[in-house]
Amino acid sequence: MKTFDFDVCSSFLREIEFGPGYKIASVNRRDLMTIQELVKEQFLAVIAEVSPEHWHHFKNQCLSSYHILAEKLELAHEQIWCKQRRIFDEKLLSKFKGTNFYSDLRNIFGEFLISDEENLSYENVYWRLVRPGKPDVGPVHADEWFWKLGHGKMPANCFRLKLWLALFTEPGLNGLRVVPNSHKKNDWRYHAVFKDGIYKPVIDHELESLDLYNLPLNSGEYIIFHDRLLHGGIPGTGRITRFSVEFTLIIPEDKLKHTNLR
Ligand SMILES: O=C(O)CCC(=O)C(=O)O
């Protein structure tokens, strides 16, 4: 059985910091299926709550064809899929933490927490669904901007990394895009806009002026990235509804020997 190894952790963190600001890895097939099923369970529970007459339509459908049914049934997508409805509840969270994927993260980083930006008193693991051709993606930003604007509380002597896992994607067409090495520059400009009850950062740079790179992530691949890395969703140009899972790891700073990830 593998356990935490300080040197493995240190070299992982150094790859992120001194490399392009991220590292890509993958979960095994079984974990991918488990996490897809957890999302489907919550997805169906939401449909049962907001639109019970349509539940049976979605029950036997793959999540990735959600957009076809949603359009046919004229679902109020934006209203239904607010963030609160896309955060795992504690039961799903506990199943999520039972995966090998989660144990592998514990082996790499040792003890860590997942952030609770939504103040739910439990760790926030949430998912997104992005329809092809619709503006459902997260805009380009660095996560640090949200924290600087007061979204979420940081425990003392810890640093953050974000994890984004592809559940249903078409590589390069509808996943995540990043600006490699952008975490090394500290003067990206943004301003705050009050939306959905919080101040959200909006980037001041023209997107065309950034070296945005569409990560060719397959379902089951994930990226762990630096808090200052510029990133955002790829506006869905594929054929399927993209599903992904995200969360923020909060890691004690004592793992930071030879790195400077504060
Ligand atoms: O998946 C997306 O569309 C955006 C993701 C994102 O902004 C994030 O992981 O912070």
pLDDT per position as a tens digit, 196-208: 888 999 999 999 9
Residue 257 has pLDDT above 80, yes or no: no
The atom of ligand 1 lying closest to the CA of 244 is 1
**pLDDT (tens digit, 9 = 90+) per residue, 161-190?**
999 999 999 999 999 999 999 999 989 999
Residue 260 lies in a domain: no
Ligand 1 atom having least distance to the Cα of 141:
7
For 32-88, the pLDDT digits (tens) are: 999 999 999 999 999 999 999 999 999 999 999 999 999 999 999 999 999 999 999
Task: Name every residue whose Cβ is closer than 8 Å to that of residue 75 and which is 6 or more positions away in sequence.
Answer: 51, 54, 69
What total number of domains does the chain contain? 1
**Is any ligand 1 atom within 6 A of the Cβ of residue 233?**
yes
pLDDT-based confidence at residue 7 (cuts at 50, 70, 90): confident
Over residues 110-138, the mean pLDDT reads 95
Q: Give CA–CA dist 76/172, Å, rounded.
A: 28
Q: Is residue 116 part of a domain?
A: yes
**Residue 40 maps to a domain:** yes
Measured distance CA(171)–CA(39) in Å, rounded: 20
Q: Specify if 262 maps to a domain.
A: no
Q: Is the distance from CB of 211 to CB of 179 less than 8 angstroms?
A: yes
| Rounded-to-integer distance, Cα 178 and Cα 206, Å | 14
Is 242 a residue whose pLDDT tops 60? yes
Q: Write the CATH number for 123.
A: 2.60.120.620
Q: Is 146 in the pocket of ligand 1 (CB under 6 A)?
A: no
Phi first, then psi, for residue 100 (nearest 5°) are -65, -35
The verdict on residue 181 lying in a domain is yes
166 CB under 6 A from ligand 1? Answer: no
Work out the pLDDT band at 137, boundaries 50, 70, 90: very high
The answer to whether position 69 is within a domain reads: yes
Q: What is the pLDDT of residue 197?
A: 85
Q: For atom 2 of ligand 1, which residue has the closest CA?
A: 233
Residue 236 has pLDDT above 80, yes or no: no
Say how far apart CA 234 and CA 242 lie, in whole Å.
10
- Domain assignment present for residue 93? The answer is yes
Domain that residue 68 falls in: 6-255
Structure tokens at 119: 């103040």
Alpha carbon 80 to chain centroid, angstroms:
19
* Contact (CB, 8 A) for 183 and 229: yes
For the CA of 137, the nearest atom of ligand 1: 3
Ligand 1 center from residue 164 Cα (angstroms): 7
